[in-house]
A and B are shown apart, each in its own frame.
Chain A
Amino acid sequence: MLEVVSILGFSSFQDMGRNGFRSLGLSRSGAADYYAMAEGAALLDQSPNSTALELIGNGGTFNVLEDCMVALTGATMLASADQKPLAWNASHYLYKGNMLNLTTQQNGRYSYLHLRGGFKAPKVFNSCSAQPVAGIGQYTRPKDILAQLENKQDPIACQKIEPFNRFDLTTFRLVESFQTRLFNQETIERFIDTEFSIDNQSSRGGVKLTHTGSGFSTSNQLKILSDVIVPGDIQMTGSGQPFVLLADCQTMGGYPRIGCIIPPDLPAIAQLKPNKKVKFKFIAREEANRIVAEDAKSLEIIKRRCSAPIRDPEKMEDLLDFNLIDGAVWAKD
């Protein structure tokens, strides 16, 4: 159990999202970076759907109220417990009275704090993912108590994980979608040739892209019938400015979509910091299906990415944190 002392960015509970309710207008939601959820789950030996705390833009400080085990994944941050550094992409034991501090995101925008047993959060339409703008759940605030859902007692060893490579992608793969051909060939080619910049106006709903040159639009754009929207869609707003839609995107909309980013590239674009440059390329559906199948396979064998933490005495602040002696985990045992 943790108590929030301070929150520096935006943070909310997320799991793998809600399926089956889009007919009621509910977004899919869920963690922006599913690799980070899988990594946290592998480190703590639990389901990837266990609720984690997603930290956007910056972290915060947490008072540890009970001994617990946590994992840190997603965009790397400077992490410490009572000012002793904690390795990122790793699991750690925390003890009552520790002050956990997470700050300064380095290579991305979405970082995750996982708790063994999962965080306890209200379930709305079968998911604990918060979507405050839609009236579901709230952002984390100081003094919030972050409780554990399942009380898991059996000790497991601290581990580190080799993270999936997703932080420096520059070319994103798209498949054509039902509105792609509303754009003429010249516009599609210009879109593929254009280098875009990630704008700082981004949220869990979408990432705004900027570029030099004119916008991208279809004819009669303002009268197109509203139709289904899915995460990954690249939507052109009224002025022809592209937005990449993410997990919290609405279920319907009227602005046309030029294509859809394939699921394995979506965490990568969500993670890009402002001013990073990106380009897009269309790939065939067969190739996209093959990439998705490979991705699913690599997630199935994710535990192979886990190993015992580095035992380099030079880098060690505290031998106990690294379980140097016997790999045991409860220091109190």
Chain B
Amino acid sequence: MQKNERYMTDNFPKMSFVGLDGILVQFSQEICENGNSAALAFRQEIEKKNHPYIIESSNSLTAAYFRIDIKIAAADSILNFFDDVLKEKNWYTSQLPSNRKLFTIPCVFGTDLAPQFEKVIKLAKLSRAQAISEFTRTKTRVMTIGFSPGQPYAGLLSEKWDVPRLAEVSKNVPKSALVCAIRQLIIFSNSTPTGWHHIGQTAFECFNSNRQQPILLNPGDEITFLEINPSELAQIKSNNSDGLGGVKISEIRT
């Protein structure tokens, strides 16, 4: 609660423009779980109100984004509407979305498949076992889906994982890679150049158009990992047309 008050006095929630046709409602400057829940709940509430000027919306880690149809109305004209909704309640104490799921994803840590693991655990001052237990014994929450189809940004890892992104971008980190930086982890939907540290390799495809549900993860879901070795990963990959990569999905009871 103390933290909430601090954010409120720092002029959060705060509304800003994104380009000409977007409005961003930010709930905190730093990544934090109550800022994330606030952003998810606020977007859900605005979507419910079905405003005719809003073309689409999305969530980032601690903000809600709305794209306005500027052929009908200038983005400025929506600010008062948002301001009124913001005043309706304390968004920082919002509940997480319902029907949340836990994803347990098999993952190889380090080895040639994930070459930046050793360097990152040195930065984080952790042993291999300590580092892996952070991923296999704790659960991280999907804070948002973005960048590319179905791709989760999950957090928060413990403070030791507050490592900056690399200044030099790695050329091509493969699809389904587990990467981390600034207390967050991502599983890549597609191979991509990145400044994030490649620490693990899974066979879980965040987006697979062969599946009835191409995108499985939603904000609020939780992710944990099962450590496997490279030959076990190869075996999973040999029978992976649905791109599930051996994931186990269970309901989270609240």
Q: Which residues of A contact B223 (CB under 8 A)?
A: none
Q: Which residues of A contact B30 (CB under 8 A)?
A: 225
Interface range for A:
35 or more
Question: Chain B interface secondary structure, helix, strand, loop or mixed?
Answer: loop
The answer, yes or no, to whether B232 is at the interface (CB within 8 Å) is: no
Is B207 a contact partner of A135 (Cβ separation < 8 A)? yes
Is A23 a contact partner of B57 (Cβ separation < 8 A)? yes
Q: Which residues of A contact B150 (CB under 8 A)?
A: 24-25
Given the contacts A238-B166, A239-B167, A285 and B17 also touching, CB distance less than 8 Å: yes
Q: Smallest CB–CB gap between B147 and chain A, Å? A: 4
The answer, yes or no, to whether A328 is at the interface (CB within 8 Å) is: no
Q: Smallest CB-CB separation from B151: which chain A residue? A: A25
In the assembled complex, the Cα of A7 lies from the Cα of B235 at a distance in Å of 37
The answer, yes or no, to whether A134 is at the interface (CB within 8 Å) is: yes
Using A135-B209, A254-B165 as known contacts, list a sample of 8 further A-B pairs with CB atoms less than 8 Å apart, ordered by residue number in A.
A23-B58, A226-B146, A227-B61, A228-B65, A228-B146, A250-B148, A260-B19, A263-B21
In the assembled complex, the Cα of A177 lies from the Cα of B168 at a distance in Å of 25
Interface string of A217-234 (1 = CB under 8 A from B): 000001101111010110
The total of interchain contacts (Cβ-Cβ below 8 angstroms) comes to 146
Is A228 a contact partner of B24 (Cβ separation < 8 A)? yes
The answer, yes or no, to whether B16 is at the interface (CB within 8 Å) is: yes
In the assembled complex, the Cα of A253 lies from the Cα of B192 at a distance in Å of 13
The answer, yes or no, to whether A133 is at the interface (CB within 8 Å) is: yes
Q: Which residue in A239, A251, A262 is a CB contact (below 8 Å) of B147?
A: A251
Q: Smallest CB-CB separation from B196: which chain A residue? A: A254
Interface range for B:
35 or more
In the assembled complex, the Cα of A237 lies from the Cα of B26 at a distance in Å of 23
In the assembled complex, the Cα of A106 lies from the Cα of B190 at a distance in Å of 34
Q: Smallest CB–CB gap between B159 and chain A, Å? A: 13
Residues in A lying within 8 Å of B, measured CB to CB: 19-27, 124, 133-136, 175-178, 222-223, 225-228, 230, 232-233, 237-239, 250-254, 260, 262-263, 285, 288-289, 292-293, 296
Interface string of B187-212 (1 = CB under 8 A from A): 00110100100000000001111000
In the assembled complex, the Cα of A238 lies from the Cα of B165 at a distance in Å of 9
Given the contacts A252-B60, A289-B74, A292-B70, A238 and B168 also touching, CB distance less than 8 Å: yes
The answer, yes or no, to whether B253 is at the interface (CB within 8 Å) is: no
Q: Smallest CB–CB gap between A205 and chain B, Å? A: 10
In the assembled complex, the Cα of A1 lies from the Cα of B58 at a distance in Å of 39
Is B148 a contact partner of A227 (Cβ separation < 8 A)? no
Q: Which residues of A contact B190 (CB under 8 A)?
A: 133-135
